[in-house]
Amino acid sequence: MTRRPYIVGNWKMHGTRAMLSEARAIDRAAQRHMKVEVALAPPFTLIHPIHREAEQISVGAQDCHHADGGAHTGDISAAMVADAGAKFVILGHSERRQDHAEDDALVRAKAGAALAAGLRIIMCCGESAKTRESGRAVAFVKTQLKASLPSPDDVPADLAERITVAYEPIWAIGTGNAATTDDIAEMHDAIRHLLVELYGEEQGGAVRILYGGSVKAENAAEIFAVPEVGGALVGGASLTADSFMGIALAA
């Protein structure tokens, strides 16, 4: 990893104010490990409280709407999460794609809205077990990513700072079965080629590509040793400071 490793916790639909102590502990530990960039994406309700206290970590959202505002009951815009203190937003997570039928076009529209609101984005992609078994994983992920990322005409000049990609095979999320380092290497290489094709050598070559799917302290070091892995998107193991920072320490 050449750039500072980026370790992002996705708390999903976990966390009430009782979890603020865990966020504080993560922030304190991150201050002692400045060579790693640590970030947390809590539920919307905790973005502002964590942002207000955090000294080192950045806080992000797990989703945003593609519109600036309007009659969208229960939704939240990119500008609103930015106003609450979010610096980034996770988009295209497989749980959103499955639970909320988000397709690539919608995810791309959200990416445009988030970038316009000044947020960084973490664009998720990943294949199902069925697709991997069929031998079409790389082709599937490239197609999904190309259709979900902003088109080359719509990206900001500092796109390598603003866009991060997270490869998260669906079958590895929350199962305890991380992808093998060979599979991660093959997919991250393919993603790197796609990014260079889309955005050019300099910018596409500098976008960080995270791996996500059952990362824990025990397997983090070998995953971070894979070329083109620029960090991790972590679900379950980000819920306690001990397990999350165990991963950050391996980077």
Q: Residue 75: CA atoms inside 13 Å, Cβ hemisphere, count?
A: 15
Q: Is 219 annotated as a binding residue?
A: no
Q: Is the separation of the CB atoms in 228 and 209 below 8 Å?
A: yes
Residue 177 interacting with ligand PEP (CB under 6 A): no
The type of residue at 202 is: E
Task: Pick from 69, 118, 174, 200 the residue near ligand PEP by CB under 6 A.
Answer: 174
Q: Which of 204, 213, 230, 231 binds ligand PEP (CB under 6 A)?
A: 213
Cβ neighbors of 217 (< 8 A, separation 6 or more) are 237, 243, 246, 247, 249, 250
Q: Which residue's Cβ has the minimum distance to ligand PEP?
A: 235
Judge whether 102 counts as a catalytic residue.
Answer: no
Amino acid at 248: A
Region near ligand PEP per CB under 6 A, out of 42-50, 58-66, 153-161, 206-214: 206-214
Is 10 a residue that touches ligand PEP (CB under 6 A)?
yes
44 vs 13: CA distance, rounded Å: 9
In Å, what is the CA distance from 148 to each residue of 114, 160, 242?
Answer: 13, 16, 34
Q: What single letter denotes the amino acid at residue 34?
A: M
Q: Please pick, from the candidates 57, 81, 119, 173, the single residue that binds ligand PEP as defined by CB under 6 A.
A: 173
Least separation in angstroms between residue 177's CB and ligand PEP is 9
| Catalytic position from the list 66, 93, 95, 102 | 93
- Binding residues (CB under 6 A) for ligand PEP: these are 10, 168, 173-174, 212-215, 233-237
Q: Which residues are annotated as a binding site?
A: 10-12, 174, 214, 235-236
Which residues are designated catalytic?
A: 93, 168
